[in-house]
Chains A and B, each alone.
Chain A
Amino acid sequence: MTTVTAARVPVVTAWQLVRWLGLAAAAAVAIGLPDVLTPYWTLIATNAVLAFAIAAPLNLLTGNTGQFSLGNAAFLAIGAYTGAFITLKLDFQLPLALLAAAAVGALVGLLVGLPSLRLRGAYLLMSTLAAHYLVVFAAQRFQTSQFGAAGAIFPPLQVGGVDLSSDRAMYLVILAFAGVIGLVIHNIMHSGHGRALEAVKARDVAAAACGIRVRRVKLVVWSLSSAMIAAAGVLQAYLIGAATFEYYTLDLAIASIAIIIVGGLGSLGGSLLGAGFVTLVPVGINRLSEQYGGQVGGQEQGLLAHPLELQTIVYGVIIIAFVIFKPEGLIGLARSAGRMVQRAVGGARHA
């Protein structure tokens, strides 16, 4: 008697094909952007991509694992100063700076994450608030002793003799970095670990009952996300040209939280959409200001004459609007649209 074993035929739905093609196309577009954009817009794109690289790990921590953290700016500072020390003082190159920043970030992230084993909710939030100020204080002392009051001035980026300081090169470096970050986070989210994170977020008592090592999960996520943010901090410092402790404010941390709220908590695509959106808002307002907010006969014209304040107001309105009306974020809207397209494409199976 012969047994018939069915060969495992890979089944690719039309929808999956569309997704892969879409991703490939997006990657091609992303890489080619600097060639079509003006330097001004290239810089904006660079900022947006960097903002994504900073927000995505935070989203893993807050969105997926439920750890509400104000520590983002602190980890950026850690990365920046570690990187400065490695490259400026020890004269090593960027790759080592990134690794060192990640290592220090992981360590400090572990420390900052320790209170999360005991504290929840408002108390955990307050502990990250305290951590922010303490880390920035340490950074300030470090800066004063190693670099002086003007901060750590970063030279133009170059690796192995190759000058990477042009707008295009910086963009591509940061894009590559963001790509790596995205890949790592994507893998985590779509593995068994991802489910563990969600369980910890939902109810860690129940998660423990399911055999999830809650403490380990929390500490690992804190370390990992902080390491990634710190590494991003090095690139951010290169982009800005310097690391000064005054830059690392609580508002900076809040900006990343705004991004993940607007984009969608717990979603990688959300971090991307949010980063793009939040980066473009001030640009948009500035443009409107230039066009319509000018002085007319010496009289200032309304709100648009105050672009900076208007940005602040719009920023606040956006946060409130998304929290109240669109808690699932932009990615939620995108998903609804995607579902409509999927139905149209048919989802038929190709054998």
Chain B
Amino acid sequence: MPDTPLLEVDGIDVAYAGGAHALAGVSLAVAAGERVGIIGANGAGKTTIARTVTCVTRAFRATVRRGAIRYDGVDCTAWPAHRGLRKGIVSIPEGRGIIPNMTVEDNLRLVLVGLPRNQRSNVSEAFAMYPVLGDRRRSMAGLLSGGEQQMLAVARALLARPRLIVADELSLGLAPRIVKELLDGLSVRAASEGTAILLIEQAATLSLQFVDRAYILDQGRVVASGSSNELREAGDMTARYLGVADLAGTGELL
């Protein structure tokens, strides 16, 4: 029985205000509860996809010039960001996107106040998930370490009880061990809630370990897709696009 995918991106072209085209004819789909990756080198258009799917293109002066995005079968291309949030699309932005001169607790509350009352959970849930955050609940978020900030961004996304989490370059600037911990934690909680995850990354090996399926993005186009195994086996083809030396599961971040 063909399910309507949770998220369906249908041949979109996205361009920024200066005319720079970021995405051309991109199509992808994420089913409910699925874990999907988007892998690409710098400048491939990863962050643009993240912004488009989470409906924040306008804030960055980008527009979807062609194609459509559908969420649960409903066209959401023109949704404002807060609508996406209410419908269960949450982002873990590139660079973590935490507010540095607000406290950890306030950063968490930010997502809660953006939700309707009946969808709100409680910050204490975040502290239960990540006790470290609880210890530092009154610290200014800008003073946290990189790993802690990323933890905060993840916790914030989870608090929204989302149906789809879009994580943009989660691993950037973090030690592999920390990234693995974060992803494992995310994985567990997402699985228990049935949350789908769209993991957008440069680090190919890492992503393929975490997701079931992935798309390879190069210069704004999807150039390959398949299950993680398929992509790992087609190592040299994907390597050409990513300039990575070795995809075959050495466990190293490249």
A and B touch in the complex (CB under 8 A): no
A→B interface (CB under 8 Å): none
